[in-house]
Amino acid sequence: MNQLYTGAEYLESLKDGRNVYLNGEKVTDVTTHPAFRNCALSIARQYDALHDPATRDMMTGVDDFGTVTHKFFKPSKSAQDLLEAREAIAHWQRLGYGFLGRTPDYKASFMAGLHVNADYYGPYAANATRWYQDFTRKAMYLNHVIINPPLNRAKPIHEMGEEFIHSVRETDNGIIVSGAKMLATGSAVTHASFVAPVGSAVLEPGKAEALALVFFVRMDNPKLRLLCRKPYGLGHPFDHPLSSRFDENDAVLILDEALIPWEDVLVYRDIERSTGFYAKSGFPNLYNFQSAIRLATKLEFMSGLLSRAVKANGTDAFRGVQAAVGELITMRDMIWAITTAMAYDPEPSTGGTVVPKLEYASAIRIYNAQVWARVHELFETNLGGSPIVVPSSHKDLENPELRPLIDRYYHGANCTAVERIQLLKLVWDVIGSDFGGRDELYERNFSGNAEQVRLDALKWATRRGSLARYEAFVQECMDDYDTSGWVRGPWKQESSQPCVG
Ligand SMILES: Cc1cc2nc3c(=O)[nH]c(=O)nc-3n(C[C@H](O)[C@H](O)[C@H](O)COP(=O)(O)OP(=O)(O)OC[C@H]3O[C@@H](n4cnc5c(N)ncnc54)[C@H](O)[C@@H]3O)c2cc1C
């Protein structure tokens, strides 16, 4: 039986008294507040796609417990499963034109493997299985918080123990936890936060046990507060077509002596397990798969957008402008090709499951951040100042005195003034608005700081032996010769003289 949230059930589930703060006040209902309403409705639309007869079979499958769930929420056992999961992810992403970074399928990258890896969590293994089951049955929406706030990066983590999330004490019912994490994206409209140290965290044994925690905190926990950033989604659709519906507010999450019931704990005061789960769970392999599918979808949109904007400007026949559109299209194709490799050429994981190869995940993780910077450059260099050659708002178009002037002076090479203004305002929402600036910051940083993603690539290549193979390859070359000349291969001839040099 399909027990997955419908859009309406999902919206209803958010009315739980959660402590979301904005502009000095508590938000009483995120489903009606203008800063969150349209984002919640966008997620609700995704849930409805799990039930829509036109998409239901493509989106859902049955897991080993017999539960009907989203195809990416259950573990994949073959390349075919990953391909089908890609289709389900891509459909959800198309509903947000690729601009919703933390849709519920993002955290499925971790949760899908939680039951098959349950033993990893030792005394909390049963919690892992139960959370997997609850998550898959409803397709729960989790946010995740793993990064400590940038209060003083120079200090060892344990010296920041009072400000960072840490266990204060334990009770019969669970752990009492206090501290903050930076940026819980989308959290105001989710069901729970997944809380853990980041994989690269240096937690010193004997000093940092209080910070070595992995747990879930439900959004209605009375001691949880979300302090949201300024919302970007309050504008009119004509002027802010993306931000007015896809603003996933990023919040600082603060726990103040919050009780985390034992049932919601995965790791408690265990330094090795608190960061080791990343490698074990397949999370990096899978979240980069989900993110790459999202980014490819977004680049389809951006390719269409640039192409239409240069046509409106009448620059589409110029050779350099055509080259820019061509380059953008190949970025989409490159990323889609990586997702194809990730699906068709997976690596084995726990219990007969498969996940995309870590090497492919690592490659797209680094490319992701570079791509978005280049997208901005292509838009800004090929559209010039045109994205701001638009009236201040839709109200100017409704002013009878201004309208004839606008019709005359704002039209496009191939379209009316209204069509051109609508298109260019869409461009600005992506590349220039508050929303666009945040979006760029997201693409650059969401997967880790620029150095860390590269350091991880080196660490993984070292651990998995590929770097050793590459070094041995160089040795093979160096073994072809020595100070006497060629010592092997077709270059070495018995009668030949050593090279002169
Ligand atoms: C829009 C947005 C949404 C986000 N959403 C989420 C979310 O939902 N959940 C979540 O957990 N996180 C989220 N993040 C946080 C994101 O994961 C981090 O921003 C990212 O990992 C980079 O970390 P940082 O911001 O702490 O930068 P830092 O790690 O502080 O890096 C800044 C610079 O300092 C350098 N640096 C930092 N530490 C060291 C060191 N020890 N040694 C040498 N150099 C160092 C880095 O190399 C880099 O050059 C979000 C971020 C953004 C921008």
Work out which ligand 1 atom sits closest to the CA atom of 148: 26
Find the angle CA(364)-CA(367)-CA(370) to the nearest 5 degrees.
Answer: 155
- pLDDT value for 447: 94
- Written as one letter, the residue type at 36 is F
Q: What is the mean pLDDT of the chain?
A: 96
Give pLDDT, residue 369.
87
Q: Is the CB of 460 under 6 A from ligand 1?
A: no
What is the atom index within ligand 1 of the atom nearest the CA of 187?
8
pLDDT band per the 50, 70, 90 thresholds, residue 346: very high
The second-level CATH assignment, the architecture, of 7-281 is Beta Barrel (2.40)
pLDDT given for residue 161 in this prediction: 82
Where residue 499 falls among pLDDT bands split at 50, 70, 90? low
Q: Is 222 helix (H, G, I), strand (E, B) or coil?
A: coil
Smallest CA-to-CA distance from 176 within 264, 256, 263, 270 is with 256
Nearest ligand 1 atom to the CA of 439 is 1
Q: How far is the CA of 30 from the centre of ligand 1 (A)?
A: 27
* CB distance 168 to ligand 1 below 6 Å: no
Q: Where are the alpha helices (DSSP H) in 196-282?
A: 243-246, 271-281
pLDDT digits (tens, 9 = 90+) for 396-453: 999 999 999 999 999 999 999 999 999 999 999 999 999 999 999 999 999 999 999 9
CB-based contact 328:299 (threshold 8 Å): yes
What is the model's pLDDT at position 2?
87
Give dist(CA 381, CA 55) in Å, integer: 39
pLDDT at 496 over 70: no
Question: In the chain, where are the structural domains located?
Answer: 7-281, 283-461
When pLDDT is cut at 50, 70 and 90, the band that residue 489 belongs to is very high
Express each pLDDT in 37-84 by its tens digit.
999 999 999 999 999 999 999 999 999 999 999 999 999 999 999 999
pLDDT of residue 500: 55
Distance 291 CA to ligand 1 centre (A): 17
| Domain 283-461 is found in CATH 1.20.140.10 | yes
- Pick from 314, 425, 420, 439: which is nearest to 375 by CA? 439
Kindly tell me if the per-residue pLDDT of 233 is higher than 90.
no
